[in-house]
Structures are given as structure tokens and as C-alpha cells.
Chain A
Amino acid sequence: MEVFRRIWASPSGRLGMVATLLVILGGVAAPLIATHMPNQLDVAARLTPPSAAHWLGTDHLGRDLFSRALFGTRIAVGVALAVTATALAAGILLGVVAASGPAAVERTILAAFDIISSFPSLILALALVAVLGPGLINIIILVTIVFVPQFGRVARAQTLAVKERPFIEAERALGASSGRVLTFHILPNIVGPIVVLASMNIPVVITLEAGLSFLGVGIRPPLASWGTMLFDGFTYLEQSVWPVLVAGGSLTLATLGFTLFGEALRDALDPKLRREP
């Protein structure tokens, strides 16, 4: 709670927290708030501007943009959380194994990390789509692969640093087994920086998923994704600007919110900026 108080203390942290909460609430409560079903067609009202019936207007098939944006939140945030959580777990596991395992294992893991991160993330994701095919689950898997190395590297570096600290030796001198040292003494001391990295990672995943969906290799229609909405809106830009505005606005709100929140979280957890009581 202390951390949230510190985040709230800075204006950008406050903005980030409000935006993040709005986005998450919107996604969770989408079925309650939405005025229409996201795929409900209203052919009579195609590409309309905002009105009492359609608060943010409609797209080229007459679907309600407000409702689609809300349901799109579920995809965007859901994918981002799933990817980040999986990449975090896999990264910590591989990083800790690399730092404490035999040299050959460490070299193999690091080489894999190097190979993955030598590709630009969008290009690598596109290549993996070509192999796995599009679809929600596949997108989660392949974007996870893209993001594992950064968590793994930080986890490994942190483990190496913590391993040499005297309290680890002290624990061993008092009879802790290596498994116990790893789970109870190393892990809790490395999660701080990794959690911050994870919070900063969420907006990156959201844009990557939207980008893939925009290119038509991500989430497949008719599932409401901001990326596909953006693409459809782009096609009909000459007739109505609203689909692009709504999809782009949602994307901006979410990424901005998570970024500001992540930065504020990093500052709040930074011991250099914190006075010890």
C-alpha cells in the first residue's frame, strides 16, 4: 500500500494510475457497460458519427464502436498480462538456472537469448506467425518468446549479484540447502527489478499485439481487437474518422497509462529515491 501511496504522490503517477484503472475496469466490466454486443450489426447505421444510440459512432458494418473498444480492452490487456506473466515466469526460471547451473547450460541459454533478441521484435513475431499461424493463443505464445530474453537476462544478472552477497554465505553457514537458498533467499531479492520491468513491458506488448492485428496476422476478426479496428477504420478513413479515433484513442490511453504507471512504480521502488525509516 505504501508503494501505491508513493505512486499517487507524483502527478504523472496519478494520471497513469487513473488511466490504468479505467482501462482495466473497462475490460473487466465490458459486458455490463457496453451498450451493444460487440459483433451486433446495424446495417442501416454504417460509419455514423457519435449519437445517442451509438455513443462513439459505428464502423463500416454498423457495429457500435464504444462497445467494440471496450471488448477490445479485454483482448489487449488480456494478451499483455498473459504474455508478461508467462515471459516473467519463464525468464526468471531460465535466468536463475543460467546463473546457478553448469557453464554449458548457461552458454546455451544465453545464446538462445542472443538469437531471439537479435531480431527486431515485430519482425520476429511476423516470422513466428508464419510458422505457428495467427490466432489468439498463438499470438500469446509467440509474443512471449519475443519477451523472455529481457526478463531472463535481468534475472540472471540479479541472481549473480545476489549470490555473492554475504547473507547468502551466512545462510549456507547456518545450514540452508542450496534449494532453500535459491527459493527463499535469492528469488525474493531479485523480483523487485523484474516486476518493474514487467510493468513497463505491458504497453510494449499491447502495441505489438495491435501491430500484428493491424497487419492482419494477429487476432482474427470478428474478435474485437484495437489493431483490427484500426485497420478497418483506416480502410474507410475517407468516409468516417471515428473508427480510427476510437481505436487509436483506446490504444493511446492504455499504453500511456501503463507506461506512466510503470515509471512511477519504478521510482517508488527505487531505494535511492527512498528514505529508510
Chain B
Amino acid sequence: MSADALVKIENLSVDFSTAKGALHVLRDVSLSIPRNRVVGLVGESGSGKSTLALALLGLLPDNTGRVAGRIELDGENLLDTPPEELQKLRGGRIAMIFQDPMTALNPVFSIGTQLVDAQRNRHPKIGRRELLKRAGDMLKRVGISNPEARLAAYPHQLSGGMRQRVMIAMALLCEPDILIADEPTTALDVTIEAQIVKLIGDLRADFSGSIVLVSHSLGLISELCDEVAVMYAGKVVESAPTKNLFGNPRHPYTLALLACEIDPEDEPGEPLTTIKGGLPDLIDVPKGCIFAARCPSRFDRCAEEPPLRDVEAGHRSACWLA
């Protein structure tokens, strides 16, 4: 979008090899992540949003087949970067918050040890005592009371919400340029979710990097993100500043997603809105518009694949009707 993009993903395609053939998980994804902004990636399960996050980290699974395109971090193509260099980037310039805080911490080490470990790539020369102190300060910043006691605690002694705060602290301690949060609240109950959302919102103020927020919750996205990319079946179908996307959606899939949100005003017993049909086959990908089979406004031209194009400044949609 702008020249000031921190990360620029261009025509990224990723295939997974399966027994039935190549699974086209990401197809021709282009996306840019501006500096100091929060970009939301939204889409249903299997749309490729988590794969995109893993590709950014250089941690695609072992069964990854073909990878094509570019992922540029400050102009450097991550896909050409040797694994040792990538390993140094992780936990340095790129960090990630995982979905399930109950399992994302090593059960046999104390919180303090793990927080110190996480800083190793960023600050190889600082001593353990100093790193531990920084860890304590960070715990306080993410809203954990009595950080000294928590540093000595083991993961199973903390609640889910506290563990997610620890995960966030761990990622922030890396002082990353880009922080990837993969469904950071999915595993938490709603009251804790609200607290974590508020925490991420508060941290935005003094966090200097960009955040990529992967979620299927439109509420979360609208609350936290500056820009949103909607993914469907391995493609970005619409991307726009948050206000435009929610105020003036220009792709039928986005509209359908919005319609699926539960409205608390609904009468009890009112059936929930769904999108009819299922995700298309990603091994033998159908021709034409990928959403056509489930689209209520389908017409003749949908047999031809619509490109992702600007419909207004900063707002792109892959639909002939947009």
C-alpha cells in the first residue's frame, strides 16, 4: 500500500504435500504491513491465516511443498534467508504469541527462566540477573501483580489469563519489530478475553512495532486493528482500513462473515446465520472466483477469477461487483 511498509508479502503461494496431491494453502497472497500499525487477518478455519503467520516466522511445517513469491522484511526477502539467519530473526525482530497459553509454556521450567531464555536472541550479552529484572518489569507492565513471586512460579501454578499475559510479556521482551498474535484470546473465557484485549490495546501505545493479529473474531479485529485483510481459501479477498471494511464492505464474503456475528438482540430460538456450503477443495482448486460456489450475488462473470484491485484508496477487493 504505502512505501513505508515494514513487511511486504508479494504473490506468496504455499503448498503442503499430502497423499492426495499438493494442497494449495496460500495462493498468490499479497499484503503489506505498515510500520507501527495493527493489521488483522480474519477468515474461517482453513483459510490460510495461520499458515501465513507461520510463513512470516519461517516455521512452515515439514510437509510444506512448493513456496513461491516474496516476503520482504525491510526489503530483505525472508524466503531467501538461510535458516540460521531466520532463527536469529525469530525472538529478535519477529516474535509470536500463541493461541493456547495452557500449552505454550514449557511445564518443567519456571516462568522467570523462560522469560530470561526468550531474551537471549535479542540481548546475548546481558547477564541473567539483569534479564530477570527486565522480565519482572515486563510482567508488571502486562498487569501481573507480585511479579517477583510469579517469576519463581511454574506454568501450572498460573491461571489461563495469567499465562497469556506471560506469553505476551515473553513476546514483548524480544522487542520485536513485528509481533504476530495467533488467535491470542481463543482459548480464554470471555471475561479474561476482554482483559487481554484491553491489555493489547493499552500496550499498543508504547509498543513501537507492528502487530499482526490473526483471528476469526470480527469483534476483536474491529477493536484492535488499523487495517484488516479478509482471507478465504488461501487468498486475500478484501483488505482495507478497519473503518472502511466494517462500514462499507466490498466483498460478499466479508458481508457474509459480518452477517454471521451473533446479535444479542435476536429472539431466543432464532436460527444462527451461517454461510451455506463449505470451503472449496484446495487440492483441485475450482476455476473462477473462489467464493462463487457460496456467493449469493454470483453472476456470469464469476467464472473468471477476479483480481484483488483497488476499489477506493487503500481499499482492495477481489470481486467483480466491488
Interface residues, chain A, with chain B CB atoms under 8 Å away = 165-167, 169-177, 184-185, 188-189, 276-277
Q: Does B225 belong to the interface (CB within 8 Å)?
A: no
Q: Does B149 belong to the interface (CB within 8 Å)?
A: no
Task: Evaluate contact between B109 and A170: CB separation under 8 angstroms.
Answer: no
A276 to B107, CA, bound (A): 12
Name the residue of chain A whose CB is nearest to the CB of B182.
Answer: A173
Partner pick for A175 among B91, B99, B103, B105, CB 8 A cutoff: B91
Given A174-B171, A175-B121, A185-B106, verify A169-B98 contact (CB < 8 Å).
yes
- The proximity string for B residues 93-115 relative to A, scoring 1 for CB distances below 8 Å and 0 otherwise, is 00110111001111111000000
Which residues on the A side are within 8 Å of B109 (C-beta)?
184, 188
Which residues on the A side are within 8 Å of B87 (C-beta)?
175-177
Task: Evaluate contact between A173 and B105: CB separation under 8 angstroms.
Answer: no
Given A175-B120, A188-B108, A276-B156, verify A166-B100 contact (CB < 8 Å).
yes
Which residues on the B side are within 8 Å of A188 (C-beta)?
106, 108-109
Listed A/B pairs (16) with beta-carbon separation below 8 Å: A166-B104, A167-B103, A169-B98, A170-B105, A170-B167, A171-B106, A173-B95, A174-B90, A174-B171, A175-B87, A175-B88, A175-B118, A175-B120, A176-B91, A184-B117, A188-B108
- The proximity string for B residues 130-171 relative to A, scoring 1 for CB distances below 8 Å and 0 otherwise, is 000000000000000000000000001100000000010011
Given A169-B59, A276-B156, A277-B157, verify A174-B96 contact (CB < 8 Å).
yes
A177 to B107, CA, bound (A): 19
Q: Closest approach, in angstroms, between the C-beta of A4 and any C-beta of chain B?
A: 19
A276 to B153, CA, bound (A): 13
A15 to B174, CA, bound (A): 51
Name the residue of chain B whose CB is nearest to the CB of A276.
Answer: B156
Assign chain B's interface to a size class.
Answer: 20 to 34
Given A173-B90, A174-B118, A176-B91, verify A189-B107 contact (CB < 8 Å).
yes
A275 to B295, CA, bound (A): 52
Name the residue of chain B whose CB is nearest to the CB of A168.
Answer: B106
Question: Which of A167, A184, A189 has most B Cβ within 10 Å?
Answer: A167
Q: Does B209 belong to the interface (CB within 8 Å)?
A: no
Question: Which of B57, B104, B156 has most A Cβ within 10 Å?
Answer: B104
A172 to B90, CA, bound (A): 8
Given A169-B59, A189-B107, A276-B156, verify A176-B95 contact (CB < 8 Å).
no
Q: Does B92 belong to the interface (CB within 8 Å)?
A: yes
The 7 closest A-B pairs by CB, nearest first: A175-B91, A175-B121, A175-B90, A174-B91, A173-B96, A170-B104, A166-B103
Task: Evaluate contact between B156 and A173: CB separation under 8 angstroms.
Answer: no
Which residues on the A side are within 8 Å of B104 (C-beta)?
166-167, 169-170
A169 to B104, CA, bound (A): 8
A167 to B96, CA, bound (A): 12
Which residues on the A side are within 8 Å of B98 (C-beta)?
166, 169-170, 173
A215 to B310, CA, bound (A): 88
Partner pick for B92 among A175, A177, A189, A276, CB 8 A cutoff: A175
Name the residue of chain A whose CB is nearest to the CB of B84.
Answer: A177
Task: Evaluate contact between B106 and A173: CB separation under 8 angstroms.
Answer: no
Task: Evaluate contact between A176 and B117: CB separation under 8 angstroms.
Answer: yes
Task: Evaluate contact between A172 and B174: CB separation under 8 angstroms.
Answer: no
Which residues on the A side are within 8 Å of B107 (C-beta)?
167, 189
Question: Which of B88, B89, B96 has most A Cβ within 10 Å?
Answer: B96
Which residues on the A side are within 8 Å of B105 (C-beta)?
167, 170
Partner pick for A174 among B100, B103, B156, B170, CB 8 A cutoff: B170
Name the residue of chain A whose CB is nearest to the CB of B174.
Answer: A174
Q: Closest approach, in angstroms, between the C-beta of B177 and any C-beta of chain A?
A: 13
Name the residue of chain A whose CB is nearest to the CB of B98.
Answer: A170
Q: Closest approach, in angstroms, between the C-beta of A192 and any C-beta of chain B?
A: 9
Question: Which of A167, A173, A185 has most B Cβ within 10 Å?
Answer: A173
Which residues on the B side are within 8 Å of A171 (C-beta)?
106, 117
